[in-house]
Amino acid sequence: MSDDTPSSPVLVISAHAGDFVWRAAGAIALAAERGDRAKVVCLSFGERGESARAWREGRGLEEIKGIRRGEAEAAAAELGAEIEFLDAGDYPLAETPELVDRLVRVYRDFEPAAVLTHTLSDPYNGDHPAAARMALQARVLAQAIGYDAPGEPLGAPPVFFFEPHQPEQCDFRPDVLLDITPVFERKRRAMERLPAQQHMWDYYTDLAKRRGVQLKRNAGPNLGLPHSTMAEAYVRLYPQTTGVLA
């Protein structure tokens, strides 16, 4: 990235240690490859609700946290992302003013150009919408000039909800399809850094293929996209601002 090119740092707020990999690893890798910062904030390690294999092996809570931290760090490194763990606990992920304040400080310090997080509806996992609600509340507070936190007031970065595991039950209707073909192999390698959830590897590979087919369909034939196009799906929360409809 040249010195006169505006930076577009991407902030990902993830309820658990693996969520960012399945749902947004392509977007993260694309940011890293164009020379932009990408930062993941994991609110929890997914130690209670998303580490069944480790519990069945008889491991203890702190050991499981360490395992999941190591996996998430390895996945983030594969993608070229920074990662921070807030260790707020999961199942349930409690919404607290203190946790929101910590996110405000992340926003002010990182100054994201885009924010990626969970959907506001997920009947299968209450931690996911809890993370989304806190991410959105913190974004608003970070914009307030009178909010007591270091740094300058935040601008208005767009927010994108990434795809939940069972989209139909979460009212997920994507309006953004992101071409991740150039970085999909990095996403796959990052997924393979999460052996605690190995059952997800092929699921999210197949999903990227299906979303790639939809991307090609909506892009039209003139772009000459390859047969093997891979994509991630998102919902944009706030309106896009533009001077040209295209």
How confident is the model at residue 5, as a pLDDT? 62
- Assess contact for 131 and 13: CB atoms under 8 A: yes
61-99 pLDDT, tens digit per residue, is 999 999 999 999 999 999 999 999 999 999 999 999 999
- Which tens digits make up the pLDDT trace of 178-208? 999 999 999 999 999 999 899 999 999 999 9
- Domains in the chain with CATH codes: 10-236 (3.40.50.10320)
Query: Would you call 105 helix, strand, or coil by DSSP?
Result: helix
* pLDDT attached to residue 220: 76
- Distant-in-sequence, close-in-space partners of 44: CB < 8 Å, separation ≥ 6: 15, 16, 17, 86, 87, 88, 89, 90, 93, 127
Q: For 203-232, what is the mean pLDDT?
A: 89
* pLDDT above 50: residue 1: no
Structure tokens at 76: 């983030």
Instruction: Convert 10-26 into a string of H (helix), E (strand) and C (coil).
Output: EEEEECCCCHHHHHHHH
DSSP 8-state code for residue 14: E
The HSE-up count of residue 237 (CA atoms within 13 Å, CB side) is 19
Location of structure tokens 């999460």 = 194
Average predicted confidence (pLDDT) for the chain: 95
**Whole-number pLDDT of residue 105:** 98
